[in-house]
Amino acid sequence: MHTVVYVEIALYLIAMLAIGIYFSKKDLSHNDYFLGGNKLPGWALAFSERATGESAYMFLGAIGFIYAAGLLGIWILSGMFLGVMASWLFLSKRFMTEQQKYKVNSLTDYIAVKFPKHADMIRWLASSVLVLFFVCYLAAQSSGIGKTIYSFSDFNITWGTIIIAVIIIAYSCMGGFMSVVWTDTIQSFLMLVSFIIVPIAAFMEIKNQGLSISTELANMGNGADSWVGGLNGIALGAMLFTNLSWFFGWLGGQPQLSSRFMAIATEKERIT
């Protein structure tokens, strides 16, 4: 069984590398490398944005939180959903039009152009912040990759993390934004299929085992069978605020997501 899994993973990684190699052979301009030259279809950018936004933290972190907390996990998902909807409905067009107006390739460039007197300071400050927080962000994502592989193959977590990280860096550097978007699109499709198949398979297994979800939630205790976790008063307000506050995380503060909006070519592509 493990041999089959290893072969599947190897074929997948080879396909990702092939995409990077393909675009590395293209004559890419500066804008092509960083924003795909505003030539990529809107649907691919949308899939890429979601694959980037809903990665290891969703498949491991958020799902793990819901598994441990019970029904109140709906509030964190609600915050995420509302934030994503708001970003596409109200921010994506602004990012698109501002990029076309100022011809910038990143969120940092855009802010620097808007405030030219402080451009150097903005770039230095933004670079420092990005290095600090993205090291932590990438470490968490890489750890998620290693744990995911280990969960179904028993492959060493450290080596799994290193191998996957090297391959991701390789195809990202080789093909730039174009290779990242198209690999993201494939990954997003696989994630979507998983979101459909896994719950169906889980419900079928629950039925076959004669289990009751409501009973199991009640047996967990700690208010797992309550939409508010059995909380009230200040504790309830704090829980709702912290979980729904994920809404604000999608309002333009993540440069890896805003770059997808900036890469959109036309309004027609944006609404597709």
Task: Provide DSSP, 10-28.
Answer: HHHHHHHHHHHHHHHTS--
Please name the residues in contact with 155: beta carbons below 8 A apart, sequence gap of 6 or more.
6, 149
Span 91-127, pLDDT tens digits: 999 999 999 999 999 999 999 999 999 999 999 999 9
What average pLDDT score do residues 51-75 get? 87
Q: Is the dihedral of CA 165, 167, 173, 179 positive or negative?
A: negative
Span 176-209, pLDDT tens digits: 999 999 999 999 999 899 889 999 999 999 989 9
Span 12-30, pLDDT tens digits: 999 999 999 999 999 999 9
Q: How many domains does the structure of the chain reveal?
A: 1
| Percent of the chain residues topping a pLDDT of 90 | 65
User: Angle at CA 268, nearest 5°, toward 252 and 114?
Assistant: 35
What is the distance between the alpha carbons of residues 238 and 163, in angstroms, rounded to a whole number?
Answer: 41
> What pLDDT is attached to residue 243?
92
What average pLDDT score do residues 259-267 get? 95
Span 24-58, pLDDT tens digits: 999 999 999 999 999 999 999 999 999 998 877 78
> What pLDDT is attached to residue 237?
95
Least confident of 142-146, 202-206, 237-241: 142-146
What is the distance between the alpha carbons of residues 205 and 258, in angstroms, rounded to a whole number?
Answer: 40
> What pLDDT is attached to residue 51?
92
Reported as a pLDDT band with limits 50, 70 and 90, residue 1 is low
What is the distance between the alpha carbons of residues 182 and 19, in angstroms, rounded to a whole number?
Answer: 8
CB 9 within 8 A of CB 149: yes
The runs of H, that is alpha helices, within the chain are: 2-24, 30-35, 42-53, 56, 63-69, 74-86, 92-102, 107-114, 119-153, 157-208, 213-220, 233-244, 255-262, 267-271
Reported as a pLDDT band with limits 50, 70 and 90, residue 148 is confident
Give burial (CB, 10 Å; 0-12/13-18/19+) of 135: exposed
> What pLDDT is attached to residue 61?
83
Q: Is the dihedral of CA 43, 48, 53, 57 positive or negative?
A: positive
C-beta pairs of 162-169 under 8 Å, 24+ apart in sequence: 164/13, 165/138, 167/13, 167/16, 167/17, 168/16
pLDDT for residue 9 is more than 90: no
Q: Residue 4 is which amino acid?
A: V
Buried b (16+ CB within 10 A) or exposed e, 79-111: bbeebbebbbeebbeebbebbeeeebbbbbbbb
* Domain range enclosing 122: 2-271
Separation of CA 108 from chain center: 20
What is the pTM for the complete model shown? Answer: 0.90
CB 252 within 8 A of CB 95: yes
